[in-house]
Amino acid sequence: MQNIFIAGASGFVGGHLIDALLKDGYRLRCLSRSEKAEKIFKEKGIGIVSGDITVPETLEGALNGIDFVIHLVGIIEEKGPAKFQKIHIEGTRNLIIEAKKAGIKHFFYQSTLGADKGSWSGYLKTKAEAEEIVMASGIPYTIFRPSFIIGPWDGFTKKLMDLIKMSPAIPVPGNGKSKFQPVYINDWVKCLLKVIASPALFKGIFEIGGPQHLTYNEIVSTLAEAMKMKKSIVHIPMGIMKLGATIAEKTIPILPVTYDQLRLLETDNVCDINSVEKTFGFKPIKYKDALKEFI
């Protein structure tokens, strides 16, 4: 049984992953930046390394005796000192340097669907640059590019649910016709478990998406239906939303949505509708059915 190191284990995806790995009997060691995370890891019998991928000295020796590294650390927006460059690029580079020292057998990196070095988006651009660091390392690797992942505790669904509950009508930026491909967390975990069990079969980059291409309008209305709330959708002109976000970014430290996130809502973010089935041999569940399991 492999010894596995996880960076980013205390997040939404990591929390679900560690439970699945422990259930299958894997030995885990997790990077922790907080006492709260350390307490949770200790209660689960997980080895702990107190550190931060952006502080290289805290990683020294952290991967000794490890076979497989899982790198989940990432941010979707910049806040204070948390910058895309520092976390996605420098953090990944620091972890790769330590992985090479420790002779890691396989390295997994969680990227994102749409990652592109030529993108206007700092998020998508730095994710692609982090991918290049992993690919150039000489370590056998697997990179996932998932669409947005949904499930218990996921931030996207929670924000949308709060919006639906509070608003008399559901505000949608723009026309809401851009398409997305939400994937259920349990299906994402199944994919990674297959990689861990047979890493030699899954080298390279894999796009991960659910079995449907859904417009943002469809995502919102399906969620409202799952919440048993009948509310109409009101489309807010994107120009007004962008102007509001631009002004708010200069005055409000914590925003519900940023200018860049609004721009991302204007673009389709999908892959092959059969991507999971073709690569991993099973069909992921539909958005509506996933919501039934945790809403």
Residue 76, SS3? coil
Average pLDDT over residues 105-109: 98
28-55 mean pLDDT:
95
Chain-wide mean pLDDT for the chain? 92
Classify 70 as helix, strand or coil: strand
- The strand pairing partners of 49, in sequence order, are 31
Q: Tell me the CB-side half-sphere exposure of residue 122, using CA atoms within 13 A.
A: 17
Position 184, amino acid: Y
Q: Is the pLDDT at 229 greater than 80, yes or no?
A: yes
Instruction: Fill in the amino acid letter for 175.
Output: N
Yes or no: say if 169 and 291 are a contact pair by the CB < 8 Å rule. Answer: no
- Mean pLDDT over 84-108 rounds to 98
The per-residue pLDDT for range 34-46, each reduced to its tens digit, is 999 999 999 999 9
The pLDDT value given to residue 250 = 58
Sheet containing 47-50: give its strands across.
47-50, 27-32, 3-7, 68-71, 106-110, 141-146, 204-208
Neighbours of 200 (CB within 10 A): 9
Q: Looking at the predicted structure, is the pLDDT value of residue 169 above 80?
A: yes
Domains belonging to the chain, first-starting first, are 3-146 (3.40.50.720)
> Average pLDDT in the 175-202 region?
97
Q: Is the pLDDT of residue 255 over 50?
A: no
List residues bridging with 171 in a β-sheet. Answer: 234
Whether the pLDDT of residue 253 is over 80: the answer is no
Please tell me the predicted confidence (pLDDT) of residue 132. 98
Query: CA torsion, points 82, 87, 90, 93, in degrees to nearest 10?
Result: 160
